Every structure is written in structure tokens, then in C-alpha cells.
């Protein structure tokens, strides 16, 4: 321990050990959640679309399916990245939709998708 930091400061080895344990616990938690949150059955459906033709809607459903993961942050990030690779614009994806957001995206290209118990809004800006 560095005496200038005081006797209470953790050593580098202790800090690394704590980080390793936290990383393992995080990985175990994600694996546990993924095993409990299964891939939805059936196929994704586009329930509402503004600015996407039938072909684009098929692509959106495919993207939703290809990106599936039980971690919603990873899932929505993957969907946004694939949309940006497919079309021009900056894409945003959220799981579900807080009620106040509808007005802010209604005038932009957007789609509302549902797959089993999950839903998401995709829109570009």
C-alpha cells in the first residue's frame, strides 16, 4: 500500500480481485437472465409503420429477429446499428414506449414492432 494514500486504501491486487469477482458475478447474472428470458416464439410483426414500405417492414422484422438477446440494451443497440447500415439516417430503438415520446417521433420515419411479449419503436432522425 502507498503510505501517502493512508492505510485504508486497497492495493492494486485487491482492486483487480474485486473487479474480477464483479465481472464474474455480472456474467453469471446475464447468463441467468438469458436462460429465464427465452427467445420469443413466432415472428416479429410490424403493428404500425410511418415511412416504411412492405419490403422495408420485412427487413425491420428480420433485424429484430437477428439481433435478439435477453439484454435489452444490446438488443436495441444491435437493431439501431443494423438499421443504420441498411438505410441512411441516425436510428434510435427503444424497448417499449414511454407514453410521452409518441409526439416527438410521430412526424419522423418510424415503426412499432411486436414480438411475443416484447415491443419496440424504431425511428430515424
8 Å CB contact between 113 and 45 = yes
DSSP state of 45: E
- The crossing angle, in degrees rounded to 10, of helices 72-86 and 54-66 is 140
Q: Residue 26 sits in which domain range? A: 3-36
Domain co-membership, 56 together with 32: no
Domain co-membership, 93 together with 76: yes
Domain co-membership, 91 together with 49: yes
- The structure's pTM equals 0.66
Domain co-membership, 28 together with 77: no
Q: What is the pLDDT of residue 38?
A: 84
Domains identified in the chain, total number: 2
> Is the model's pLDDT at 102 over the cut of 90?
no
- Report the share of the chain in percent with pLDDT over 90: 37
Straight-line distance from the first to the last Cα atom of the chain, in angstroms, rounded to the nearest whole number: 52
Domain co-membership, 57 together with 116: yes
Q: What is the CATH number of the domain that holds 64?
A: 3.30.740.10
Domain co-membership, 101 together with 76: yes
8 Å CB contact between 113 and 64 = yes
8 Å CB contact between 34 and 70 = yes
Domain co-membership, 60 together with 113: yes
Give the DSSP per-residue string, 11-65.
Answer: PHHHHHHHHHHHHHHHHHHHHHHHHHSPPPSS--EEEEEES--HHHHHHHHHHHH
Domain co-membership, 70 together with 27: no
Amino acid at each position: 500500500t502507498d503510505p501517502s494514500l493512508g492505510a485504508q486504501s486497497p492495493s492494486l491486487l485487491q482492486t483487480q480481485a474485486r473487479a474480477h469477482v464483479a465481472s464474474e458475478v455480472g456474467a453469471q447474472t446475464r447468463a441467468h437472465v438469458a436462460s429465464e428470458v427465452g427467445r420469443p416464439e413466432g415472428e416479429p410483426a410490424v403493428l404500425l409503420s410511418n415511412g416504411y414500405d412492405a419490403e422495408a417492414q420485412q427487413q425491420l422484422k428480420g433485424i429484430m429477429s437477428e439481433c435478439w438477446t435477453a439484454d435489452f440494451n444490446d438488443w436495441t443497440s444491435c437493431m439501431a446499428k443494423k438499421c443504420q447500415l441498411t438505410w441512411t439516417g441516425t436510428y434510435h430503438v427503444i424497448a417499449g414506449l414511454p407514453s410521452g415520446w409518441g409526439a416527438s417521433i410521430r412526424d419522423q420515419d418510424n415503426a412499432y414492432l411486436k414480438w411475443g411479449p416484447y415491443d419496440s419503436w424504431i425511428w430515424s432522425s
